[in-house]
Chain A
């Protein structure tokens, strides 16, 4: 509108594209391919950075990492970014499947003093609701840089809430899930599938990337 105001004699015909331009800049219009202005969190894998919008892990949203089995490096994929975040912020681990091993984490540069591990007792752990509650609280909490959870089946509505919690708390949420859930739709801003076998390097496939290109992949030495 400001353009129109400065050019009152502007003919209507040539004003229309400008009005469209103006409309496209409206806060509620989101164009596929447009990226949010915030810079991503560097992954420390240059190849992967180049494939992701904003050159890194999406801040303030949910990232889903799908694997067929444990032990192929899903945690190592995010570890450099986590080590970087622990310099200034907290990392919350929600119900990790095993004990995060302090010597290995420290060797990777993680500041152990900024790690928080939340494990409800066994009765509560059986209840996914508890775990999702903790995860959501952590994501909403502003001093938390990243929260990670290991989730199996979850309703789309719950995942949507988690994504909103990320935006509200400006927290990076990481969800590790079995690959079987790849066929389900997810509100996560970024979905990756990690594939590996004994002979070749691990392959990262981008299943969904908001504001970036899908169906790309790269090989990483994890």
Chain B
């Protein structure tokens, strides 16, 4: 792990003084771009190419990323485990292999770009102004967000924790211009610079490669003896411009805030779609839940960024042979609670029979709805005394374990046919739904049994008597139910209350037509 401590370039006293006196600069207003003259945070992803391929399972195996062709493959990135085996950047693949058991990966640029965009969506939770800096960086304009997140320290903690959960190792720097923030972050010095006046001093000693100039321009600068940023800034501007190109001059002007530095603003996608290639094919549900939690972490950032919630998560597990398993998590109540999502995912994974090796896991969420605002789970959860779980979470947990159909409510239906006088209902999230008027039946209505048979059970008379644990005695009164001719399910029955010798009361009927068979339909429990 690299040094993750920030080294503020200035004293704490200056930190507070600077916010009040932002130097006036001429800003270029361009549609769709970000204004310059603010405070920029650059996230430099240190081993991005490798991180997205290993999905955060960093220290389990030695991984290296190689580039080149044929026998000229060279190591371009190596994780800690590989480094400890002695693998070095630039080593030929053949030499690296001798050092130990390595997982060799090659770069996937398309996946990198997609991952960067997803990270952009995730970062929108911190500020509305996010700009992607391909191939391995993100820029966030944070001036307006400092108060909300409790200053630079609070914001940095949140960003760092989030990136760590996503499985990325980063170098972060903050500066008044985006180019300077990028340069500082790439140099891994991780400075915080608040004022433009301080920039030349903070940037001075950095090597020129952090600016990512074209190789040709870099060669020219080297040839005139300029090795660091400071060297270039000290050159007379006229001569410097003649020797290099206007673009290089512009880069330096942007760097120290002498000219505006507009950035293209990242637009949040309308729906969430993300997938993870599992670095090692797996048939173990436990390792899938780890990958799933990373996807959920991205989702939760995205939902927070667009102030939304969801009720449906669609998951796909793709087998190596091209087949896929699809399942979805339905929530009783819209939510963006990552921990709750993860719990439900683990329950569901526990019930999926994997028949082969899974190579990819994907999450797709198109049910995006604005947050209701009445419940911010994180805030009120602790306030409920004694309980750790609310009603919707309880329902979700049961459903995740047992299936959607396993958890139901009951509803009364106005119909004279006994089997049609009720139906299953969906149980909703409202814990405080207004109870309907009870005692819907008139007081004179005939008694109904508490248990109804799922299907009437045919009774056969033996020697002219009906028997259920002994001979049945039928009540004097009968209740005739003859109805339903209009919808194709007509009913014509005479109902009786029957008692057997051991005291059980049963609800039985005889058909009025056909074979006039007897049926058991309910139990007066």
B374 interface contact, C-beta 8 A: no
B residues 395-450 in Cβ contact with A at 8 Å: 395, 397-398, 401-403, 405-413, 418, 421-422, 424, 427, 431, 433-436, 438-441, 445, 447-450
A102-B422, A112-B411 known; A107+B402 contact, CB < 8 A: no
CB-CB < 8 A to A70: which residues of B?
A: 451, 504, 523, 525
**Complex contact A112–B436 (CB within 8 A):** yes
Q: Contact size class for B?
A: 35 or more
Q: Which of B161-169, B288-296, B386-394 contacts A (4 or more CB under 8 A)?
A: B386-394
A19 interface contact, C-beta 8 A: no
A55 to B182: give the CA distance in the assembly, Å: 74
A97 interface contact, C-beta 8 A: yes
**Complex contact A98–B441 (CB within 8 A):** no
A102-B421, A107-B441 known; A76+B450 contact, CB < 8 A: yes
B503 interface contact, C-beta 8 A: yes
Of B401, B410, B448, which is within 8 A of A117 by CB?
B410
A101 to B523: give the CA distance in the assembly, Å: 10
B453 interface contact, C-beta 8 A: yes
**Complex contact A121–B406 (CB within 8 A):** yes
A115 to B438: give the CA distance in the assembly, Å: 13
Q: Contact size class for A?
A: 35 or more
A116-B407, A142-B386 known; A102+B412 contact, CB < 8 A: yes
CB-CB < 8 A to B401: which residues of A?
A: 133
Q: Which of B103-111, B173-181, B494-502 contacts A (4 or more CB under 8 A)?
A: B494-502
**Complex contact B397–A137 (CB within 8 A):** yes
Of A90, A104, A106, which is within 8 A of B438 by CB?
A106
Binary flags per residue of B181-192, CB closer than 8 Å to A gives 1, else 0: 000000000000
A196 to B503: give the CA distance in the assembly, Å: 5
A117 to B451: give the CA distance in the assembly, Å: 13
**Complex contact B441–A113 (CB within 8 A):** no
A residues 89-132 in Cβ contact with B at 8 Å: 90, 96-121, 124, 130
Which B positions have Cβ atoms within 8 angstroms of A?
386-387, 389-391, 394-395, 397-398, 401-403, 405-413, 418, 421-422, 424, 427, 431, 433-436, 438-441, 445, 447-454, 469, 473, 499-506, 522-525
Name 17 A/B residue pairs within 8 A (Cβ), A-sorted: A68-B502, A72-B502, A72-B504, A73-B525, A98-B453, A98-B454, A100-B452, A105-B450, A106-B440, A109-B438, A112-B436, A117-B409, A118-B402, A121-B406, A124-B406, A141-B389, A197-B501
